[in-house]
Amino acid sequence: PQPKYRKDYTAPDYFIRHIDMTVDIGETTEVEALLDIERNPDRPSGQPLQLDGENMKLLSIELDGKFLTEADFEVHAKGLNIPSLPDRCQLRTRVVIDPHNNTALEGLYRSGDILCTQCEAEGFRHITYYLDRPDVMASFRTTIKADRSTYPVLLSNGNPIAEDAEGDRHWITWDDPHPKPCYLFALVAGDLARVEDTYTTASGRDVALRFYVDHGNESRCTHAMQSLKAAMAWDERVYGLEYDLDVYMVVAVSAFNMGAMENKGLNLFNDRFVLADDTSATDEDYIHIEDVIGHEYFHNYTGNRVTLRDWFQLSLKESLTVFREQSFSADQGLGAVKRIGEVRQLRRVQFPEDASPMAHPVRPESYIEMNNFYTPTVYEKGAQVIGMMHTILGDAAFVHAVQEYLEKFDGQAVTIEDFVATLEQSSGQDLQQFRLWYSQAGTPRLTVTEHYDADAQVYELVIKQHVPDTPGQKNKQPMHIPLVLGLLDDSGQPVSLDIETAAEVTPQSPTQALVHLRETETTLRFPNRPSRPVVSLLRGFSAPVKLDLPHDKSDLHFLVRHDVDPFSRWDAGQTLLLRAALEAEQALRAGNAPAFDEALGETFSALLETAGSDDQALLAEMLALPGETYIAEQLDVVDPDAVVGAYQALRQYLAGAMGEHLKAAYEALRPGGAYRIDAGSIGRRRLQRQVMDYLAAYDPDALAGYCWQQYDKADNMTDTIGALAAINDLPGDTREQLFADFEQRWRENHLVMDKWLRLQSTARRDDILERLEQLMQHPIFSLRNPNRVRAVIGAFTVDNMPGLHRIDGSGYRFVADYTLKIDQLNGQLSARLVSCLTRWRRYEPQRRQLMRAELERIQQAGNLSSNLYEIVSKSLA
Q: Looking at the annotation, which residues are catalytic?
A: 296
CA dihedral (853, 856, 861, 865) positive or negative:
positive
Instruction: Report the residue number, 383 or 549, with the smaller CB distance to Zn ion.
Output: 383
CB of 292 to ligand B3K, least distance (A): 8
Instruction: Report the residue number, 184 or 757, with the smaller CB distance to ligand B3K.
Output: 184
- Residues 188 and 269: their CA atoms lie apart, in Å, by 12
Give how many residues touch Zn ion by CB under 5 A: 2
Q: Which residues of 89-104 are buried (b: 16+ CB within 10 A; e: fewer)?
A: bebbbbbebbbeebbb
CA distances from 62 to 47, 90, 848 (A): 19, 8, 57
Sequential DSSP letters for 779-847: TT--TT-HHHHIIIIIHHHHH-HHHHT-TTSHHHHHHHHHHHHHHTT-HHHHHHHGGGGTTGGGB-HHH
Instruction: Report the residue number, 14 or 243, with the smaller CB distance to ligand B3K.
Output: 243
CB of 297 to ligand B3K, least distance (A): 10
Taking the CA of residue 123 as centre, how many other CA atoms within 13 Å lie in the half-sphere pointing to its CB?
26
- Residues 585 and 490: their CA atoms lie apart, in Å, by 33
Judge residue 454's burial from the number of C-beta atoms within 10 Å of its C-beta, 0-12 exposed, 13-18 middle, 19 or more buried: exposed
Cβ(5)–Cβ(365) below 8 Å: yes
Taking the CA of residue 15 as centre, how many other CA atoms within 13 Å lie in the half-sphere pointing to its CB?
18
Nearest residue to 608 (alpha-carbon basis) of 594, 595, 622: 622
Taking the CA of residue 360 as centre, how many other CA atoms within 13 Å lie in the half-sphere pointing to its CB?
25
CB of 307 to Zn ion, least distance (A): 12
Helix (H) or strand (E) run with residue 52 in it: strand 49-52
CB of 345 to ligand B3K, least distance (A): 15
CB of 317 to Zn ion, least distance (A): 7
User: DSSP H helical segments within 505-658, as ranges?
Assistant: 553-562, 566-589, 598-609, 616-623, 628-633, 640-658
CA distances from 104 to 26, 98, 119, 855 (A): 21, 12, 12, 22
121 binds, among Zn ion, ligand B3K, none (CB under 5 to 8 A by kind): ligand B3K
258 binds, among ligand B3K, Zn ion, none (CB under 5 to 8 A by kind): ligand B3K
Cβ(524)–Cβ(461) below 8 Å: yes
- Residues 739 and 747: their CA atoms lie apart, in Å, by 11
Instruction: Report the residue number, 317 or 339, with the smaller CB distance to ligand B3K.
Output: 317
CB of 214 to Zn ion, least distance (A): 25
CB of 303 to Zn ion, least distance (A): 7
Instruction: Report the residue number, 628 or 823, with the smaller CB distance to ligand B3K.
Output: 823
CB of 295 to ligand B3K, least distance (A): 5
Instruction: Report the residue number, 235 or 262, with the smaller CB distance to ligand B3K.
Output: 262
Per-residue contact track with Zn ion, 297 to 336, x per CB under 5 A?
A: ---------------------x--x---------------
Instruction: Report the residue number, 370 or 515, with the smaller CB distance to ligand B3K.
Output: 370
Cβ(206)–Cβ(197) below 8 Å: no
Instruction: Report the residue number, 35 or 136, with the smaller CB distance to ligand B3K.
Output: 136
Beta bridge partners of 460: 451, 525
Instruction: Report the residue number, 557 or 790, with the smaller CB distance to ligand B3K.
Output: 790
CB of 260 to Zn ion, least distance (A): 8
Instruction: Report the residue number, 263 or 321, with the smaller CB distance to Zn ion.
Output: 321
Instruction: Report the residue number, 224 or 258, with the smaller CB distance to ligand B3K.
Output: 258
Cα 347–Cα 351–Cα 354 angle in degrees, nearest 5: 165
85 binds, among ligand B3K, Zn ion, none (CB under 5 to 8 A by kind): none
- Residues 103 and 821: their CA atoms lie apart, in Å, by 12
- Residues 211 and 224: their CA atoms lie apart, in Å, by 9
Instruction: Report the residue number, 405 or 781, with the smaller CB distance to Zn ion.
Output: 405
DSSP assigned state of 237: H
Cis amide leading into 121 (omega within 30): yes
CB of 870 to ligand B3K, least distance (A): 13
User: Measured between alpha carbons, how far apart are the two ends of the chain, in Å?
Assistant: 15
DSSP assigned state of 496: P
- Residues 150 and 24: their CA atoms lie apart, in Å, by 14
Nearest residue to 19 (alpha-carbon basis) of 151, 216, 152, 157: 157
CB atoms within 10 A of CB 874: 17
758 binds, among ligand B3K, Zn ion, none (CB under 5 to 8 A by kind): none
Residues 6+ apart with CB under 8 A from 13: 39, 40, 43, 44, 47, 48, 49
Coil, helix or strand at residue 258: coil
Instruction: Report the residue number, 264 or 651, with the smaller CB distance to Zn ion.
Output: 264
Give residue 4's region: left, alpha or beta (phi > 0; psi -120 to 50): beta
- Residues 563 and 851: their CA atoms lie apart, in Å, by 43
Applying CB under 6 A, the residues found at the interface with ligand B3K are 120-121, 258, 260-262, 295-296, 299, 318, 371, 374
Give residue 718's region: left, alpha or beta (phi > 0; psi -120 to 50): alpha
CB of 245 to Zn ion, least distance (A): 19
SS (H, E, C) 6-43: HHHCCCCCEEEEEEEEEEEECCCEEEEEEEEEEECCCC
Cβ(252)–Cβ(190) below 8 Å: no
CB of 751 to Zn ion, least distance (A): 22
CB of 484 to ligand B3K, least distance (A): 28
DSSP assigned state of 491: T
Residues at the interface with Zn ion (CB under 5 A): 318, 321
